[in-house]
Amino acid sequence: MSGCRLFLRRAAAAGARQSLVAPRASRRLLRTGPPRRAFAKELFLGKIEKKGVFPFPEVSQEELNEINQFVGPVERFFTEEVDSGKIDREGKIPDDTLEKLKSLGLFGMQVPEEYGGLGLSNTMSTRLGEIVSLDGSIAVTLAAHQALGLKGIVSFGTEAQKAKYLPRLASGEHVAAFCLTEPASRNNTGSIWTRATLSEDKSHYVLNGSKVWITNGGLAEIFTVFAKTKVVDSDGSVKDRITAFIVERDFGGVTNGKPEDKLGLRGSNICEVHFENTKVPAVNVLGEVGGGFKVAVDILNSGRFSLGSVVAGMLRKLIELTAEYACEKKQFNRKLSKFGLIQEKFVLMAQKAYAMESMSYLTAGMLDHPECPDCSIETAVVKVFSSEGAWQCVSEALQILGSSGYMRNHPHERMLRDARALLLLEGTNEILRMFIALTGLQHAGRVLTPRIKELKGGSMAVVMETISRRLWDTLGRTVDLGLMGNPGVVHPSLGDSATKLEENVYYFGRTVETLLLRFGKTIVEEQLVLKRVASVLINLYGMTAVLSRASRSMHIGLQDHDHEVLLASTFCAEAYFQNLFTLSQLDKDDPGNLDKQVKKVSQHILEKRTYICAHPLDRTS
């Protein structure tokens, strides 16, 4: 039975428990060769890996028809039946709303069909994510259940574990939660205190510890829990290693605190979860004993990119609501929409939404491809860009509405509070910027190490080649990375933007080599440097995504393709000049590099733990 028929059956029979569906051929082709080179990692080498990025990924007509049939019932439900204001006021998603979400199949979007789910691809899930975003609390609840809570079982579970847990998780009969964060460790797996001790007969583990900020913590029956375990190394020594477990509430000793009273996403259930002498069968180890770090990282990496479509969906609605107001409201006898400063805000929102959509669907296409590369950097980039864009755009939209947008009964006020949480969820953006930069630099370091060693060793040939190349760069090199020309992959109408991207990528690669030569392994301590590296990379990925998407729209003649070209060109121009400035700051002698001053000022403040300047009215005695 196809996923579409399963979906429609669930939509028609709301609340009915579904039986397992017969398996069918997966939409995702089996991998037949080695994974292709990861796009973002190659940018650190000054290269554009065009395969899988140009042209922009497409779905088959069959899958597109299936997506469109999914969209209608879900969109009607969120538009007609979900009362987001009530959810926000009461701090709870009503039971009948949760039941309808379950009946629509939204608790099992990415669970394989043989286990009762819809078996949607990443692209199809991304499309539905746009609609789910119409209510932030629901979006977070579903994401915590699927992208985090049950994802480990899908990716690492044994056949027995999948058969036991996935059917009831897919139907929503059971809700899942992801238990990683602890009071002292935050999201640092290396400082987890929760411990699982193997019984003498090795039949079960005894789990003790507490987790905090657990989304769905008070709703969940199934928990993916990370705990320290004793592991014997190959040399015979015993060490602590993190292990992942599937824990049922019915195992006993599982309790949760009251839901947290939050600034935003108030309807989501976020609370502490405690485990006291909880007996977990040994067969419920998820993955390998001691392999919990890999499980956690894989789950977090795969789940982050969905935030892009969620935010893009929210921004579509935000632009619609705000444009309606701006085109009707008058100030100084002129409609707000006629003022340049208001128009500028709409351009910002449209640019961000277009880039988010483009980055999200490009990443989804990569993940769905049978030769899927490592997309951990790309998913982190989408999360950082989307969450920061959401906060900026909602703030600007509220500014257009003025005082009315600040009132409790207006959706903009709720959207602003909800958007703030996105910068913290699934890894703070500061942590993710470090991850983006260090992962890419590590890749570049592996490739460039022989060359760097030769440079440091004084190899005359390598030194002369480097000097020659830098001289050519200074004189104004013409960069051609194959985006234009014959054959080119970018539409001619976007030629100037493609040239800007190629130039940025080339000089980014040169800058990366210089940084590795200057800092070596100590670059891990240079957070201000790493932040700039990540910021350039995020812009480069955004430029690539909008160019690929707009080129496709031009080639196939999509409606309003000229508007897409305008958005893409504007985004690329702004990103290009931002990158030039940031790359210049990465030169330690550049006057725009204020790292020394930043470190000195922060040291003064943090040593005294206060703002240390004298009051403006103070006088010397």
- Catalytically active residues are 426
Q: What is the DSSP string of 405-427?
A: GGSTTSHHHHHHHHHHHTTTTTS
**R_g (Cα) of the chain, nearest Å:** 26
Angle, alpha carbons 141-357-435 (nearest 5°): 70
d(Cα 427, Cα 188) in Å, to the nearest integer? Answer: 10
Residue closest to 592 by CA, chosen among 602, 603, 580, 600: 580
- Quick one: how many helices (H) and strands (E) in the chain? 20, 10
- Which residue in 295, 305, 296 sits closest to 380, CA to CA? 305
Angle between helices 306-328 and 411-421 (to 10 degrees): 150
Give the DSSP letter string of 130-187: HHHTTSHHHHHHHHIIIIIITHHHHHH--HHHHHHHHHHHHHTSS-EEEE--BTTTBT
Give the 3-state secondary structure of residue 244: strand
Spell out a b/e string for 397-406, using b for 16 or more CB atoms within 10 Å of the CB, else e: bbebbeeebe
Spatial CB neighbours of 449, under 8 Å, sequence gap ≥ 6:
none
Please confirm whether the linkage preceding 112 is cis (ω < 30° from 0).
no
CA distance 141 to 178: 11
| CA separation, residue 81 to residues 84, 90, 108 (Å) | 9, 16, 21
Most distant pair of Cα atoms in the chain: their distance = 87
Instruction: Look at residues 45, 36, 50, 49 and name the one whose alpha carbon lies nearest to residue 441.
Output: 45
Which residues neighbour 424 within 8 Å (Cβ) at sequence distance 6 or greater? none
With vertex at residue 424, the alpha carbon angle to CA 442 and CA 395, rounded to the nearest 5 degrees, is 115
DSSP category for residue 260: P
Short-list 238, 396, 214, 419, CA closest to 311: 419
In total, the chain counts a number of residues equal to: 621
Cα–chain center distance at 497:
26
CB 111 within 8 A of CB 117: yes
DSSP letter for 221, please.
S
Closest CA to 177 of 127, 117, 129, 222: 222
User: Contact at 8 Å (CB) between 209 and 169?
Assistant: no
Q: 136, 265 in Cβ contact below 8 A?
A: yes
| Nearest Cα residue to 549 out of 48, 57, 42, 37 | 57
Q: Alpha-carbon distance 581 to 190, whole Å? A: 36
